[in-house]
């Protein structure tokens, strides 16, 4: 692996380019928008200069990294690439078109990877004649800072492609986890209740935005509350991922989107980038304070947490990933305070099952069905990991 191509110069594509160049590769960063390329170049230079100022690297190192990144406006520049990573809009048809074009340019040994967060790798690979060299390599934003990378082989992906892609990303200093090619892979599947159940609690009027965020951070130990995080990600982006996963799972009610988020997206209240989302980010505006009632906060935390645990258990049940990789993905991919399966062991599987059954009895919605694996483990007094 000498020459790496990255398609798309947005924050994700630029971040991946920075990671690859830092690892010593020559990187070709492509965008069909000349203005976007210029912005990406300026932003990368600023980021590297800031790292120098903070003492994270020397000026010589920063200049060497930037010097290994070439900003190109024609995909024909990829004719000698060993791996190309696509990081463009989450639109399957557009991705297929890009992969078809790439295949006509790159050499036969070149790995073609998609950074998609939720789309089918098999569908993308099907657009190529040599589908065995297509794979999913999903970074998390910001790519230079986030350690986790999900590796997703399609059913067409060859063992050689998988081995080389994973070993390459490992050499870049990342923590790789292997995920089955199913909607949302690990993180974007397992994390859905963090947002979805918080929105349900809000829509039911049990608690407001600030109180739910307070419960999850102050009591639960999460780095960000769900509404702060949705505002950070962008309500349009988060809603699209939720809707994509919902449709891809044949409209399973467990992944049902919320009208609240849809309306905010339609109104343009996209979060920090728009100056307004669940919170108002305008200068001088004071957002309503949280209701710091401990009992209420613990009820909020427990309801969201047990739904997260249920989703993680179901991912094990359906062989989406190993138990170790699921816990690693959630702690390193979205900075959860604990691995959800380890957390379930700590709480007690039986207690989790009882909580889920209580929710199901109250709502009679399939959304709250308990994972068969959790029920079986409760019956057998089993745990996800060996007890010390």
pLDDT (0 to 100) of residue 381: 96
74 and 214 inside one domain? no
Q: State the distance between the two ends of the chain, measured CA to CA, in whole angstroms.
A: 42
The catalytic residues are 117, 138, 150, 188
33 and 159 inside one domain? yes
Residue range 278-294: mean pLDDT, rounded: 96
Res. 220: pLDDT tops 90: yes
Q: How far apart are CA 37 and CA 27, in angstroms?
A: 14
Q: Give tens-digit pLDDT for 159-174.
A: 999 999 999 999 999 9
Q: Are strands 3-7 and 83-86 parallel, antiparallel or unpaired?
A: parallel
Residue range 35-48: mean pLDDT, rounded: 96
Categorize the per-residue pLDDT at 98 as very low, low, confident or very high, splitting at 50, 70 and 90: very high
How many domains, the chain? 2
198: CB partners within 8 A, 6+ apart: 212, 216, 225, 226, 227, 304
Other Cβ atoms closer than 10 A to 312: 33
Range of the domain at 169: 3-178
Where does a domain end: 146, 178, 210?
178
353 and 298 inside one domain? yes
132 and 256 inside one domain? no
Q: Give tens-digit pLDDT for 177-204.
A: 999 999 999 999 999 999 999 999 999 9
Alpha helices, DSSP H only, in the chain? 11-22, 34-53, 59-67, 92-103, 121-125, 159-171, 187-190, 192-203, 209-214, 226-233, 235-248, 259-267, 294-317, 323-333, 340-347, 349-363, 372-380
Q: Give tens-digit pLDDT for 61-85.
A: 999 999 999 999 999 999 999 999 9
Q: How far apart are CA 174 and CA 178, in angstroms?
A: 13
């Amino acid at each position: 692996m000498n020459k790496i191509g990255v398609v798309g110069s947005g924050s994700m594509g630029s971040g991946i380019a920075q990671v690859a160049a830092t690892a010593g590769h020559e990187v070709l960063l492509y965008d069909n928008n000349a203005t976007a390329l210029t912005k990406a170049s300026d932003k990368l230079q600023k980021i590297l200069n800031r790292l120098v100022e903070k003492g994270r690297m020397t000026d010589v190192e920063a200049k060497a990294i930037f010097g290994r990144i070439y900003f190109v406006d024609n995909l024909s520049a990829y004719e000698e690439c060993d791996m190309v990573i696509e990081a463009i809009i989450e639109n399957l048809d557009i991705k297929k078109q890009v992969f078809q074009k790439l295949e006509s340019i790159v050499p036969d040994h070149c790995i073609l990877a998609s950074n998609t967060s939720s789309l089918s790798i098999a569908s993308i690979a099907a657009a190529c004649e040599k589908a065995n060299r297509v794979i999913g390599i999903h970074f998390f934003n910001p790519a230079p800072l986030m350690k986790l990378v999900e590796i997703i082989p399609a059913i067409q992906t060859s063992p050689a492609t998988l081995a080389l892609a994973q070993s390459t990303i490992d050499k870049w200093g990342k923590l790789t986890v292997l995920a089955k090619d199913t909607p949302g892979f690990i993180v974007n599947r397992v994390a859905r209740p963090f947002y979805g159940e918080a929105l349900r609690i809000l829509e039911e009027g049990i608690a407001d935005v600030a109180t739910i965020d307070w419960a999850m951070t102050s009591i639960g130990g999460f780095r960000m509350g769900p509404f702060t995080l949705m505002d950070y990600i962008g309500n349009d982006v988060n809603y699209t991922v939720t809707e994509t996963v919902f449709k891809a799972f044949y409209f399973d009610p467990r992944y049902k989107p919320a009208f609240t988020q849809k309306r905010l997206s339609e109104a343009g209240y996209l979060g920090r980038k728009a100056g307004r989302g669940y919170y108002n980010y305008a200068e001088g505006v004071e957002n309503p304070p949280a209701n710091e009632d401990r009992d209420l906060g613990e009820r909020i935390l427990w309801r969201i947490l047990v739904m997260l645990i249920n989703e993680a258990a179901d991912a094990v049940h359906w062989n989406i990933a190993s138990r170790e990789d699921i816990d690693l993905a959630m702690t390193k991919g979205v900075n959860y305070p604990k691995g959800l399966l380890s957390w379930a062991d700590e709480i007690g599987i039986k207690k989790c099952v009882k909580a889920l059954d209580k929710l199901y009895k109250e709502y009679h919605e399939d959304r709250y069905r308990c994972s068969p694996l959790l029920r079986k483990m409760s019956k057998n007094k089993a745990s996800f990991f060996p007890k010390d």
